Structure 1
Amino acid sequence: MTATIQTAIDDLYLLTRLLPAGIESALARRDPADLLEIILDLGRPPQARYRDAAVRLSERPLDRATLESIVRAVGEFGADNRAGIEGTLHRISAIRNRRGDIIGLTLRVGRAVFGTIELIRDQVESGKSVLLLGPPGVGKTTKLREVARVLADDFGKRVVIIDTSNEIAGDGDVPHPAVGSARRLMVPSPERQHAVMIEAVENHMPEVIVVDEIGTANEAMAARTIAERGVQLIGTAHGNTLENLVLNPTLCDLVGGVQTVTLSDEEARLRGTQKTVSERKGPPTFDVVVEIVSRDTVIVHADAGRAVDAILRGASPRGIRRRQDAAEDTEGGEPEEPAPVRGEPSLSGNGRPARIYVYALSRDSVDRVIRDLQLEARTVRFPDQADLVLTLRAREDDPKLRRLVDPGRVPVHAVKKNTTAQIRALLRSVFNIVYGEDPATVDDLVRETERAVRRVKADGVKAELSPRPSALRRLQHRIVTRHGLVAESVGVEPERRLVIYPV
């Protein structure tokens, strides 16, 4: 994977200034970039926890007067025993005795880290719903924060964050700048999170919802409701691996659920299994599951349903391990087969999903067709981000469009009417979708045609392609026409083939 420079903003001084001078000066002796949290327990020496060690900040146990002074400086704690510092991402959690008195504090450092989602950026940009799994402290919330910013600012999506205890967008009424222009709905207490998730969909028309720590049956049900309404969902859940999630009776519905099925004797013999087997109940709420192994390593299950099916059969889910500065490799066997995407190799130019700018058409309709056809594509808000433009035929020559887009650099495709059917037909053509054909055959055809087109343009000579069935020749004709050349079919079946001519 390509290395990405990560930068962090933490406003650490706003947290450490709550501490007595002696503890604050002890913290200054180590690199603050590695500080995770500060532990303050009554009657025990204060402690700082770093990525690689726990360090005492004083040999003197913390007394009640010092603890109470820190609590007064922090302010009011909510029903979930959490408080924050306005304008920052730091989280302060209280431990209470049976009388309700605070006898300990955990001061967790919150950082806005930019450049953390490159390992999963292709999945986020695809428009699919993505679930992040992993142990505490590996950066799940940090990644959610950047996902919200990227989708809101880079793609112009309507992003709503469901922010329980102000964990993602920071404390205070104004969201932290780290989430960009994404909007935030505060959740007053954890048990209300599912209700706020539904409220977001019903009241605020989001295209993307970002939610941290899906942990109850109500929240799992709310997530399914959101996904069924066509909203992209980016979330985290309890559990370190996909196998953990499948075995969790409360949360397994996030990846399709599990049901017990009794087979007939004949079916059991054909499958070579017992008569009673476990099967996936339905489609997953989340299309993609990402296991976060560490801050620079993830395992991506790009087809969650297929991975769950493998687990229920007792096989490996075969996720793809991605590491910063390393090639991808496969966990537990051969790589997962990619979805049958049939697009021009040069459409985006660098392997990422194609970016489509929509002009004088319904962007929602285009997004819906992209999802239905499972295209590796995304709509974008600004024309300078686009790989291609979709518009109405009557608006192709609009002066405003010509000012926004250089047709020589970005291809412009048009439909006669603003209907889903016409948009679907156009995108099927643009992305070279041919139903009933082997994806490898179509990919080979597209590459051969592209090479021939380049040769005709460069050398000014005709090029003869390999014999193909009529459906595939029609696809070749579309590719040639998009490049401004002409072609004709010659020969007799099954040797009939396309010849491309220079113009």
Structure 2
Amino acid sequence: MQRLLDVLPEPLHGRASALPTAELLELVLDLGRVPQARVGAQTIDLDSEPVSRELLDSVLARVGRFSDDNRAGIEGTLHRIAALRNRSGRVIGLTLRVGRAVYGTIDSLRDLIEDGRGVLLLGRPGVGKTTRLREMARVLADDCGRRVVVVDTSNEIGGDGDVPHPGIGSARRMQVPHPEAQHAVMIEAVENHMPEVIIVDEIGTAAEAAAARTIAERGVQLIATAHGTTLANLVANPTLADLVGGVQTVTLGDDEARARGTQKTVSERRSPPTFESVVEIVDRERLRVHGDTARAVDSLLRGRPPQGEPRGQPEPAAEGEAGQQAARPEPDPAPVGSGAVPPTGGRRLRLFAYAISADSLDRVIRQLRLPARVVDRAERADLVIALRGRNADPRLERLMAGRDIPVHVVKRNSTAQLRRLLQDLFNVVPGQREAVAEDAVREAEDGVRRARDEGVAVELTPRPAALRQLQHRIAMRHRLLAESAGSEPERRLVIQPPA
């Protein structure tokens, strides 16, 4: 942060440094207007005097060269400086955007990306699309061991300079010399570097949409953002609709039209979507996931807008529904990642692996140093972990007959999936000390008891996002609503009493 603030002359440097930097989004310097800082949802004037030409020139002298898209960066950081120019090309305004590598922002999306699906992120500017792309690159490269190439047009994902920012982990980065060349670099990445995953920010042209389809058809996982806030926006965009299958007008026969209950001329999806899943980023805490893009688009074209699956923090209650049970999050019907293990009287938890690798399960247990071990028979187990596609097998049902043993499932037989499930079961928070996580768990469980017994809202201690998410899962497990309140670093969880 200090390296960004250092491009400001005094007294702006001192005033900007006094701001709550954890919430600082950007600084705006427009010629003839007072300089401003955008902090969270607030806009703060940094001076009563308007920005002068001398001040702008002073900042420009410290920034360096702007690329063809009027953006510059600071080497080794994720900050971005964008210029406004007049008709003769002279800079008349600057936006100094804060860039951050935020870990844990894709915990609710890991199942999508680890399964190898193509994922398209949508959302308004500033909602965190690029931040999530950066974290996806790191997770897929470092945690999943895949060959990841980031196509970085404005150096927003991997930062400025020749050496990528550590925020993308061991993913490789291809810089794009001109914005118009992004589609060509996307194809070059596939043809020259044998990636398993390609990550792209801001698909916005027909050429880039065509390149995306080519990449997907070659069997490479593609993760990208696009201009638009919802799936419906994208379907209505003639340039980018191909990303989700495109739209065509067809004429039905009389019998077919009667069977469907529609007019004879209808809109239908033209082809398979480039991206199997679409994620709408509502805000930094909430997402809506369309796990099957084809089905969602078909529903939309038939006049039934898909709702999507809410993830992250709960959706706010609709007007008139506050406090009603219907507005509260429902528990997951499948016992995936409930965040609870059965009591064992202090001994190690015994796990039985069904249709998954027992060796992989044992390796993850040892890596995470969990109080658990793998057993070779279901009747000796406290808990069963099975492959989702096999959890209804008659053999498993026979093994479980007469035994009250919880069954947790993973979608794929991979160490990444097993690690995520076990971290959730044992309340492991990556990057946090065990004692800190245990303290957060105890506080959340105590808060749940108080909310239920006393019928009051219980405000927990401010904690980092990863620990708040852990506490939120505990509240969800007890079917209680939990909402974040306050701003960083004082952001905390409030557990609501039962309706």
TM-score past 0.5 threshold: yes
Q: Deviations over 1:62-107 (max 9, x none)?
A: 1111111110110111111110000000000111111111111110
Q: 1:31 aligns with which of 8, 20, 37?
A: 20
Asked whether 1:264 is paired with 2:257, we answer: no
Asked whether 1:198 is paired with 2:187, we answer: yes
Asked whether 1:448 is paired with 2:397, we answer: yes
Equivalence map 1:71-470=2 (5 Å): 71-324=60-313, 350=337, 384-385=363-364, 409=374, 443=392, 445=394, 448-452=397-401
Measure, in 2, the Cα distance between the counterparts of 1:432 and 1:453: 21
Measure, in 1, the Cα distance between the counterparts of 2:134 and 2:14: 31
Higher mean alpha-carbon deviation, 20-29 vs 305-314, is at 20-29
Q: 2:31 aligns with which of 22, 33, 42?
A: 42
Residue type at the aligned position of 1:223? A
Q: Deviations over 1:252-271 (max 9, x none)?
A: 11111111000111211111
Map of 1:480 onto structure 2: none
Structure 1 residue 431 displacement after superposition:
5.3
Measure, in 2, the Cα distance between the counterparts of 1:248 and 1:265: 30
Q: Deviations over 1:133-156 (max 9, x none)?
A: 000011000000000000000011
State the TM-score, normalized to the length of structure 1: 0.67
Asked whether 1:56 is paired with 2:45, we answer: yes
Residue type at the aligned position of 1:245? L
Structure 1 residue 122 displacement after superposition:
1.4
Q: Measured at CA, do residues 288 and 450 of structure 1 come closer, stay the same or move farther in structure 2, by a change above 3 Å?
A: farther
- Which residues of structure 1 form unaligned runs of 5+? 1-11, 339-344, 353-375, 388-407, 412-429, 435-441, 457-503
Q: Deviations over 1:113-162 (max 9, x none)?
A: 11111121211111111110000011000000000000000011000000
Measure, in 2, the Cα distance between the counterparts of 1:117 and 1:224: 24
Report sequence identity in percent.
60
Q: Measured at CA, do residues 29 and 327 of structure 1 come closer, stay the same or move farther in structure 2, by a change above 3 Å?
A: closer
Equivalence map 1:487-502=2 (5 Å): none
Residue type at the aligned position of 1:271? R
Measure, in 1, the Cα distance between the counterparts of 2:90 and 2:188: 35
Structure 1 residue 318 displacement after superposition:
2.8
Structure 1 residue 319 displacement after superposition:
0.6
Residue type at the aligned position of 1:148? A
Q: Measured at CA, do residues 26 and 119 of structure 1 come closer, stay the same or move farther in structure 2, by a change above 3 Å?
A: same
**3-state SS of paired residue (1:197):** helix
Residue type at the aligned position of 1:205? M
**3-state SS of paired residue (1:87):** coil
Stretches (4+) displaced over 6 A: 325-329, 380-383, 453-456
Q: Measured at CA, do residues 410 and 38 of structure 1 come closer, stay the same or move farther in structure 2, by a change above 3 Å?
A: farther
Residue type at the aligned position of 1:384? R
Structure 1 residue 316 displacement after superposition:
2.2
Cα contact 2:5–2:17 (8 A) shared by 1: no
How many aligned residue pairs are there? 363
Q: Deviations over 1:458-487 (max 9, x none)?
A: xxxxxxxxxxxxxxxxxxxxxxxxxxxxxx
Cα contact 2:361–2:374 (8 A) shared by 1: no
Higher mean alpha-carbon deviation, 252-261 vs 316-325, is at 316-325
Map of 1:66 onto structure 2: 55
State the TM-score, normalized to the length of structure 2: 0.67
Measure, in 2, the Cα distance between the counterparts of 1:167 and 1:160: 14
Residue type at the aligned position of 2:398? T
Structure 1 residue 432 displacement after superposition:
8.5
Q: Deviations over 1:290-339 (max 9, x none)?
A: 0000001000001010000000000021311113378999xxx9x9xx9x
**3-state SS of paired residue (1:132):** strand
Measure, in 1, the Cα distance between the counterparts of 2:76 and 2:299: 45
Q: Measured at CA, do residues 432 and 317 of structure 1 come closer, stay the same or move farther in structure 2, by a change above 3 Å?
A: closer
Higher mean alpha-carbon deviation, 253-262 vs 320-329, is at 320-329
Measure, in 1, the Cα distance between the counterparts of 2:317 and 2:172: 34
Residue type at the aligned position of 2:36? Q
Cα contact 2:286–2:315 (8 A) shared by 1: no
Measure, in 2, the Cα distance between the counterparts of 1:33 and 1:320: 30
Structure 1 residue 58 displacement after superposition:
0.6
Q: Measured at CA, do residues 319 and 70 of structure 1 come closer, stay the same or move farther in structure 2, by a change above 3 Å?
A: same
Superposition CA RMSD, Å: 3.2
**3-state SS of paired residue (1:153):** helix
Cα contact 1:155–1:381 (8 A) shared by 2: no
**3-state SS of paired residue (1:104):** strand
Structure 1 residue 453 displacement after superposition:
9.1
**3-state SS of paired residue (2:282):** strand
Q: Measured at CA, do residues 70 and 288 of structure 1 come closer, stay the same or move farther in structure 2, by a change above 3 Å?
A: same
Cα contact 2:119–2:276 (8 A) shared by 1: yes
Q: Deviations over 1:185-232 (max 9, x none)?
A: 001111110000000000000000110001111101111111111111
Residue type at the aligned position of 1:228? E
Higher mean alpha-carbon deviation, 115-124 vs 278-287, is at 115-124
Q: Measured at CA, do residues 382 and 97 of structure 1 come closer, stay the same or move farther in structure 2, by a change above 3 Å?
A: farther
**3-state SS of paired residue (1:243):** helix
Q: Measured at CA, do residues 318 and 83 of structure 1 come closer, stay the same or move farther in structure 2, by a change above 3 Å?
A: same
Residue type at the aligned position of 1:183? R
Q: Measured at CA, do residues 446 and 57 of structure 1 come closer, stay the same or move farther in structure 2, by a change above 3 Å?
A: farther
**3-state SS of paired residue (1:21):** coil
- Which residues of structure 2 form unaligned runs of 5+? 319-326, 340-354, 367-372, 377-385, 406-499
